[in-house]
Amino acid sequence: MTAIAIGLHYGVAETACTKAVATYQPDNNRSQWTSTPHNRLLLDAYNANPSSMRAALTSFKRMTEERTTERTPLCILGDMAELGAHTAAAHQEVLAFAHELGLPTWTVGPCFNKAAGAFEGGLAFENTKEAAAHCKSTALTNHCILLKGSRSIALEALVEVL
């Protein structure tokens, strides 16, 4: 809506604004849908904080429920950086929220790894290299996967093994 409002303000035709918004394809690891031969991925690995994590999880849950696909949802969450004294609590809260939504969740990074100890059922990896090795060895197929984390954890490295 903001993009359309700005376009209209600067004299761009309404139909041109609508077309531009409808055809917009995010890139730079920001809410970027991509497909591999085995899975459908939502890559959002540019930035992460507690509120963007909650929004991404809520949206991903809604999208996977609305689509009539047989793909199994999976969230792979990477550490959130620069949270200071709130780091441990923020990672625990985000992981609890994912579990509350009923989303199968794996974690990547030392902060989420510590938080994952309190939850059953998910996998926790110390770093992206470990997660990539696991993904490669298990050959995940037919999943719809959310990859969400801070830039520092480099979750985009998982795309090639998913």
Strands of 72-78's sheet in order across: 32-35, 40-44, 143-148, 72-78, 105-108, 124-125
Contact at 8 Å (CB) between 38 and 161?
no
Query: Helix axis angle, 2-9 relative to 14-22, nearest 10°?
Result: 150
**Distance from the Cα of residue 56 to its chain's centroid:** 6
What is the model's pLDDT at position 109? 95
- pLDDT computed for residue 162 by the predictor: 94
CATH 3.90.190.20 residue ranges in the chain? 31-161
> Shortest CA distance to 146 belongs to which of 68, 26, 39?
39
User: Is the distance from CB of 158 to CB of 135 less than 8 angstroms?
Assistant: yes
Low-confidence ranges of the chain (pLDDT < 50): 26, 29
Q: Tokens at residue 96, please?
A: 């609890």
Nearest to 160 by CA among 28, 78, 147: 147
- Nearest-angstrom CA–CA distance, 124 and 106: 6
Alpha helices in the chain (DSSP H): 2-9, 14-22, 50-66, 87-100, 110-116, 128-138
DSSP track, 69-84? --PEEEEEEEPPPS-G
CATH 3.90.190.20 fits 31-161, yes or no: yes
Q: Is 40 helix (H, G, I), strand (E, B) or coil?
A: strand
User: Residues 121, 104: contact at Cβ < 8 Å?
Assistant: yes
